[in-house]
Structure 1
Amino acid sequence: MIRLLLFLSVPLYILDQWSKLWIVKHFELHVTEQEVIPGIFWLHHTANTGVAFGMFNGTEYANYAFGAISLTALTILTVMYRKGLFPGILSRLSVALLVAGIFGNLTDRLLHGYVVDFLRFDFGFRPFNPWPSFNVADSCVVVAAILLAIASFTEATPAKDKKA
């Protein structure tokens, strides 16, 4: 696990934090926007104190609650990993991606008081038009969830010790 953390989680965490720092430095919050691909992709700086798709954004104690949830999730992942509940490469990759994503957004909550979202897409289909803004850490979490779902069908479950 240490190798996955060093070679996957840490670089993704650094990319996440670097990209957010760049956005915070170059884009005024909720004001500046740069179209990258006309009509499809924009960079901008938005604040999200909530979770996915901006749910619970702006609620009074959201940052504290989701910060605590992040720490709890990291603790549970660590315990589950140590118990051998992630037996294959896909599930281990998903844990490494989750660690990068959770730490990335938790760092934002601690440094900025909100999660920095800056990637905005509009593919022209409903109900997500435009698609909610996100960041590198969010991408890590989504890819991790997909990998974990695939792993749940393809990886063998860990054998349990049976004592007579």
Structure 2
Amino acid sequence: MYYIIFVLIILLDQLTKYGAIKYLKGNQPLVIIEDFLEFSYVENFGAAFGILQNRRVFFVLVTIIVIVLILFFLKRNIYCLNKSIKISLVMLMAGAIGNLIDRVRFGYVVDFISVKFRNGYEFPVFNIADSFIVISTILIVYMVLFDKYRV
């Protein structure tokens, strides 16, 4: 089951990025919900929120290290971790690998989901992999803080 979740997340991420490249690159944003949600092609050469621009090698190395550490942690603790933490770690790895694929293939990460709020705040453009990274990180922090990650 964990492998299926892992593969599905990566496929969803890569297929949506393919769609963004094919249909959004060089075109006007596609408005989904006026003044709230649109799909807009962005090439992100940095990390979350565009920080640390043009540090490709750094991000590739850090991502590989994080993936190896998660795999090592899972292997070492497989029998004492509950299903929720395992799924969260798989989501985190899949999201990281989705963005890693972009960095290796293109030298940047394809972002395309743009959310705006009524007060004028525009959330930084993101992608499916970013969503899984953020959601899984929140879940992991919650489970660790409240000691809900063990069997």
User: TM-score by structure 2 length?
Assistant: 0.91
Task: Identify the match of residue 43 of structure 1 among 29, 39, 42.
Answer: 39
- 3-state SS of paired residue (1:80): helix
Residue equivalent to 1:141: 133
Unmatched tracts of structure 1, length 5 or more: 159-164
Classify the secondary structure of the residue corresponding to 1:116. Answer: strand
Distance 1:124 1:83 in 2: 47
Structure 2 regions of 5+ residues with no counterpart?
A: none
Instruction: Give the secondary-structure state (helix, strand or coil) at the position aligned to 2:113.
Output: strand
Partner of 1:23: 20
Are 1:78 and 2:71 an aligned pair?
Answer: yes
Distance 1:114 1:26, change over 3 A: same
Paired residue for 1:67? 60
Per the TM alignment, residue 157 of structure 1 is displaced from its structure 2 partner at its CA by: 5.3
Q: Per the alignment, in what secondary structure is the counterpart of residue 49 of structure 2? A: helix
Letter in 1 for 2:128: V
The answer to whether the 8 A contact 2:84-2:149 is kept is no
Question: Does residue 52 of the first structure (1) align with residue 52 of the second (2)?
Answer: no
Whole-Å separation in 1 of the counterparts to 2:59 and 2:119: 30
CA RMSD of the aligned region, Å? 1.8
Q: CA deviation at 1:125?
A: 4.0
Q: Secondary structure at the match of 2:77?
A: coil
**Alpha-carbon separation, structure 2, partners of 1:42 and 1:73:** 31
1:87-102 aligned at under 5 Å gives the runs 87-102=81-96
Give the whole-Å Cα distance in 1 for the aligned partners of 2:4 and 2:142. 22
Aligned pair count reads 149
Is the aligned partner of 1:34 residue 2:30?
yes
> Which letter does structure 2 place at the counterpart of 1:12?
I
